[in-house]
Structure 1
Amino acid sequence: MQQQTGFLRKLADLRTDAAQELERIQGELRELDVLIRQSTAEVERLAQRNLQAQNRVRQMEMNFDTVPREDIKALYTAAHEMQMRLFMMRSQIEQLQNKQRILEQYAEMLQRVVEFADTVESVPGTSALRLSDEEGEFVPLDSMAMVAQLIEAQESERLNLARQMHDGPAQSLTNLILQAEVCQRLFDMDADRARVELNNLKNAVNTTFQQIRDFIFDLRPMMLDDLGLVPTVKRYVEALQKKVPFAIRLQVFGDEQRFDPTIEITLFRTLQELLRNVERHANASNVLVTLDRQGDEVILTVEDDGVGFDVGSVLRTSAQQKRIGLTTLQERIEMLQGKMQVDSAAGRGTRVQVRMPALTPTEHTSPRLPSAS
């Protein structure tokens, strides 16, 4: 009887938590719906203005020889900016719609929890309510929230990538088109100037190509699959050193062996995120990156001499505001049976150590949601 009473109490608490979360999600869905409708209307207006800009460009091209170079560049720049605004707005709508679908699935799951709790009066021998997954295992409610947060992190990263593409290669490609058209017009008018423009075009193409290679590497470094974690980390640190204002020293201990692909990509993404945090927040002069195999663990350590921070305060703020940062990083690592330790304080730098199981490719592991205790 006491066990049944305890179960019913937990069931009631779970029902309350699920109902409150469902109400919050439904409110967020209503806000998303309004935002999507507003963004869609803005896209329609931008599409009309983009059409007008393209018409002006075509009219200019019909009289290309009589239009001053400054006006040509201004028209192409205005048309490009309009196209990019339209692209970004459409990308934003897509991201909002993806988030809407995720939240709708989450809301549906919460609704099932509430309905189930309303119908259950007693379940003898059960000590906790859990939802069954497709393999017959059980997933607690807080894990569902974690999954939703991780999916939202993925969508946020995709939006960030779209913005970087807009500010980098997309802008460069538009300039290449402009330079190519100028070269084409100059061939019959001024051959020497055309050769100068062609040389500028060649240099711009090389720069854009390198930018695209960097984006591909950040999105999914192919050498991680081909060569493994250690060579990829070495290449990443070497390339990053040319872009950041602080010195990076890399130390690798042990053999350059391969680990399970899930472990390798998690450690690499963790290193990327930690070094991005150093670049954005630490104001550091030196960073030490250590990769070590100790027994049945592979250990990644990132240590800087920057300004440091209050660990407890930052983690609480990140969790409360659902920011993508150390909290989400820690959750991902723990889902793979790893551990992350952050040691920092104002004025004395930061040291982050991540310990992951040193599973080899033959010891396959797949990330699983933690079961309820």
Structure 2
Amino acid sequence: MSNFKSDIANLDRIIKKTVRAINKSKSQIYDIAEGARKECGRLENELDELKKLVSETMSKVSFLEGELRESKKKLMFLSKNHDKYPKEEIKKAYEKADDLRVQLIILKETERHYINRRNELEIRLKDAYRTVKKADGLISNISVSLECLTGDLQNVSVKLEDIRQRQLMALKIVKAQEEERQRIARDIHDGPAQLMSNVVMKAEICERLVETDPVKAKDEIRGLKSVVRNSLQDIRRIIYDLRPMSLDDLGLIPTLQRHIAAYQEESNTVVMFNTKGVCKDLKPVISLTIFRIVQEAINNIKKHSDAKNVEIDLEFSEKELMLNISDDGKGFDISLIDMKNHNINGGFGLLSMRERVELLGGMFEISSGIGKGTVLKITVPLISKEEVSNE
């Protein structure tokens, strides 16, 4: 009997590993194709806007060149007849011609930057089109064989239903990870990357204005400082979203206190945070898991519950950690939540919490009812370093 159980366990491990690899590859191919399509659309829109900017800038350059030619003619005429015109008028003509030259230099530099950016985008768009074509071809070639192979594996043993559920959860996690990577990439592109590009352009303008117009140069430098400050704020926000540094520097409880205080400032919810026992030598994987669960829970409360009061109790014993989160919100019908047969494209806040807890060998319970609020009860064993490294 023991040999039979061992064989089943080995078979399950092999099947899990095989199905996981197959679905991960398939998911990655779909993600590549979808990401490339989105990139094509984004690049096309950006390229259209840039072409408009190039056209507008070229028109402005042509107009300024005409203005500068007329200004030079007038200046030449005044210089030849300087005895017939007041010095103030000649001085104004000189200043106007000089100002037009500075404007033209800046505008031509802007035009050059736009043209280089346009050329770069055209190359990236062609590469994105090629990626979409290759990904679509690869999907077409392997989808049938993957479906057959996955179907055969699912008929190997009666435990494959459980494996399928686990794989669906794994795919949701992979999908969420890829979406998070895309969000971070988008945040960096739309925030610090754009700001740094602006910094470079402003620095070049300052460099040209330092000798010709120091007052304008100072104004540009002040604007440059503001851009750098905004970029620093964006970078700090992105770093916090990835992993709060205070978890490593201050520990779990101070980090939760800061997060809860910030949450209360943004909402009309009163949050009571209570701790009991001594929090010492808490492993990073547990600290991060508890922080993410509290973060996800209060986000859910903010979005869905309409709660006015929330209580978070965190208790440490010698062998385990207990976390209770309760609110006085509108609650929901627990029977409507399917914790197993979930859709890959559905939300997975509760599923994610349960998965995180179960990966640490803990227990996750939820109780709620219409008009009765919601209570989460979580227990996590305080695992050793060896157990963490073996996972």
**TM-score of Structure 1 vs Structure 2, range by shorter chain:** 0.5 to 0.7
Q: CA shift at 1:349, angstroms?
A: 3.8
* Alignment-derived partner of residue 156 in structure 1: 179
Mean Cα displacement is larger for which, 166-175 or 34-43? 34-43
Bigger Rg, structure 1 or 2:
2
The 8 Å contact of residues 292 and 299 in structure 1, kept in 2 or not, is answered as yes
* Alignment-derived partner of residue 350 in structure 2: 326
The 8 Å contact of residues 266 and 333 in structure 1, kept in 2 or not, is answered as yes
Q: CA shift at 1:302, angstroms?
A: 3.1
Please point out which of 221, 237, 256 is paired with 1:233.
256
Mean Cα displacement is larger for which, 29-38 or 332-341? 29-38
Q: CA shift at 1:326, angstroms?
A: 1.1
CA–CA distance in structure 1, aligned partners of residues 49 and 299 of structure 2: 36
SS at match of 1:319: coil
* Alignment-derived partner of residue 149 in structure 2: 111
Give the 3 Å change call, closer, same or farther, for CA 34–162 of structure 1 in structure 2. closer
Please point out which of 283, 303, 309 is paired with 2:332.
309
CA–CA distance in structure 1, aligned partners of residues 36 and 387 of structure 2: 45
Paired letter, 2:180: E
Please point out which of 58, 65, 78 is paired with 2:103.
65
Please point out which of 207, 211, 222 is paired with 2:234.
211
Give the 3 Å change call, closer, same or farther, for CA 364–53 of structure 1 in structure 2. farther
CA–CA distance in structure 1, aligned partners of residues 268 and 226 of structure 2: 25
Gaps of 5+ in 1: 5-10, 119-126, 132-138, 369-373
The C-alpha deviation readout for 1:257-295, integer Å capped at 9, x for no partner, is 122232222112212222322333344444433322135
> How many aligned residue pairs are there?
323
Paired letter, 1:350: T
Please point out which of 340, 348, 365 is paired with 2:364.
340
Give the 3 Å change call, closer, same or farther, for CA 337–276 of structure 1 in structure 2. same
Mean Cα displacement is larger for which, 320-329 or 330-339? 320-329
SS at match of 1:340: strand
Please point out which of 295, 298, 316 is paired with 1:293.
316
CA–CA distance in structure 1, aligned partners of residues 361 and 331 of structure 2: 27
SS at match of 1:301: strand
CA–CA distance in structure 2, aligned partners of residues 277 and 343 of structure 1: 15
**Structure whose residues are more often helix by fraction:** 2
* Alignment-derived partner of residue 273 in structure 2: 250
State the TM-score, normalizing by the size of structure 2.
0.60
* Alignment-derived partner of residue 351 in structure 1: 375
CA–CA distance in structure 1, aligned partners of residues 274 and 170 of structure 2: 34
* Alignment-derived partner of residue 293 in structure 2: 270
Give the 3 Å change call, closer, same or farther, for CA 37–223 of structure 1 in structure 2. closer
The 8 Å contact of residues 24 and 171 in structure 2, kept in 1 or not, is answered as no
SS at match of 2:387: coil
CA–CA distance in structure 1, aligned partners of residues 338 and 252 of structure 2: 28
Give the 3 Å change call, closer, same or farther, for CA 154–146 of structure 1 in structure 2. same
Mean Cα displacement is larger for which, 53-62 or 190-199? 53-62
